[in-house]
Amino acid sequence: MWKYILRRILYTIPIAIGVYTITFLLFHLRDPIAIAKVHLPQAPLPVLQDWVRANNYHLPLFLNLPHHAEEVRPDGRVHPEFKEKSIFYSRYFLGLKDLITFNFGKDKNNRDILEQMKERAIPSLSVMFPAFVISIFISLFFSLLSVYSPLWVDRTISFFAVVSMSIAIPVYLLLAGWIFGSFLKIVPIYGDPLPAIIVAVIAGLGGQIRFYRTVLMDQKYQLFVRASRLRGATTWYVLIFHVLRNASIPILTTVMMSLPFLITGSLLLEQFFGIPGMGDMMYSAIISQDFPVIRALVYLGAFLYMLGNVLTDISYAFVDPRIRLE
């Protein structure tokens, strides 16, 4: 089993490099001056060139080859100092070094991005974690009800699940804002986690119910389930020791794969309800065109996703004996 786990962890290294490369290309394929223009819309050319230098955009892209030192750049500068540097003195490798050492740099207001992320993870978590736990229980309840009840109940639940999947998130937000703000007037909508939690639960419910229903339906007609029933086991016994246990692998996968969203939060939700979490950080970075913040968030999101993937596979090894033997 340890061999399996080790192999699984080593496999993430090429994926991490791939993620870094794609993200790097996304941020660096365009002309640096054009990116500077996005950043500082009305600035004159010298200011733009200074921005390019300050953000290391004047360095060679992948490798610091000898010709880069003599090359005359669009800003009229030659870089003889490149000669003394190593071949890896380039945007790609300097960026990789920063990433490995968790040096995300500073945002537009000169604050450390990593520090901000640490601060903002907690509000995100305080909304997403309760929502996550509550929605697992509610959706498991409804999907069990759907599987073990007359056909018309199943149909009704399925239909409402599909309808709730078909409503876009902004619509949920606006409806919630309207209902909480105009009709109920119980809670202040802005800055309070409670309405955000309620909306997060309701918006995700439909998809989860559909998914768990399919998983449980597959288990319901398995032979061992029927055999156990024939031997006289009660519904509850079969449900807990056969159906839920065997359904735990797909359920575990979805649980693990939603871990990144617990920390990075939901962009729209946090922006709408004024939760100072990471989704809100993302939103303000989009509004102020803050590239370093966006880049750091892309890396963080990808890192958490890969972490979730590895944890899922490792947890399989504990739940499913077939994997342990491989």
Partner 1 sequence: MNQTQQRLKKISYIIVSIYFVIGLLDLISFRDSMGAKFSLLDALFVKVLNVQKERTYTEPFGLYRESKHFEKPKGLHILGTDINGNDVLLQTLKGAKTALLLAIGVNLIAIPIGIVLGVIAGYFGGWIDDIIQWFYTTVASIPWLLFVITFLMIFGRGMIWIIIAIGLTSWVELARIARGETLKLREMNFIKSSLIVGKSHFRILWEEILPNLSSIVKITFALSSSHIIVAETVLTFIGIGIEPGSSSWGIMIAEAPRELLRDPPIWWNFFSASFLGILPLILALNILAEER
Q: What is the dihedral of CA 241, 242, 246, 248, to 10 degrees?
A: -40
User: Scanning residues 115 to 134, which ones bind partner 1 (CB under 8 A)?
Assistant: none
C-beta of residue 286 within 8 angstroms of C-beta of residue 294: yes
In angstroms, what is the minimal distance from the CB of 301 to partner 1?
3
* Per CB under 8 A, 166 contacts partner 1: yes
* Per CB under 8 A, 170 contacts partner 1: yes
In angstroms, what is the minimal distance from the CB of 73 to partner 1?
21
Give counts: helices (H), strands (E), the chain: 17, 0
Q: CB nearer to partner 1: give 96 or 286.
A: 286
Give me the residue label for tokens 């409402």.
160
Query: Which listed range, 83-91, 133-141, 172-180, 243-251, lies at the site for partner 1 (CB under 8 A)?
Result: 172-180
Q: Which residues pair with 106 in a beta bridge?
A: 112
Size of interface with partner 1, in residues (CB under 8 A): 46
In angstroms, what is the minimal distance from the CB of 174 to partner 1?
5
- The SS3 assignment for 25 reads helix
CA–CA separation, 166 vs 269, rounded Å? 18
Query: Which listed range, 195-203, 236-244, 289-297, 312-320, lies at the site for partner 1 (CB under 8 A)?
Result: 289-297
CA–CA separation, 280 vs 272, rounded Å? 9
In angstroms, what is the minimal distance from the CB of 166 to partner 1?
4
CA–CA separation, 165 vs 160, rounded Å? 8
* Per CB under 8 A, 5 contacts partner 1: no
Distance of CA 200 to the CA centre of its chain: 15
Secondary structure letter of residue 184 according to DSSP: I
Residue 119's closest CA among 131, 107, 130? Answer: 107
Query: Which listed range, 98-106, 232-240, 247-255, 294-302, lies at the site for partner 1 (CB under 8 A)?
Result: 294-302
Among 36, 157, 281, 302, binds partner 1 (CB under 8 A): 302
User: Scanning residues 178 to 217, which ones bind partner 1 (CB under 8 A)?
Assistant: 178, 182
Residue span 243-282 as binding mask against partner 1, x where in contact by CB under 8 A, dash where not: -----------------x---x--xx--xx---------x
If phi over 0 gives left and psi between -120 and 50 gives alpha, with beta otherwise, what is residue 191? left
* Run of H or E including 159: helix 151-165
In angstroms, what is the minimal distance from the CB of 170 to partner 1?
4
Q: Give the number of other Cβ atoms within 10 Å of residue 16's Cβ.
A: 17
User: Scanning residues 26 to 85, which ones bind partner 1 (CB under 8 A)?
Assistant: 26-27, 30, 35, 38
* Angle between the N-to-C axes of helices 291-319 and 2-28, in degrees from 0 to 180, rounded to the nearest 10: 160
Binding stretches for partner 1 (CB under 8 A): 14-15, 18-19, 22-23, 26-27, 30, 35, 38, 155, 162-163, 165-171, 174, 177-178, 182, 260, 264, 267-268, 271-272, 282-283, 286-287, 289, 291, 294-295, 297-298, 301-302, 305-306, 309
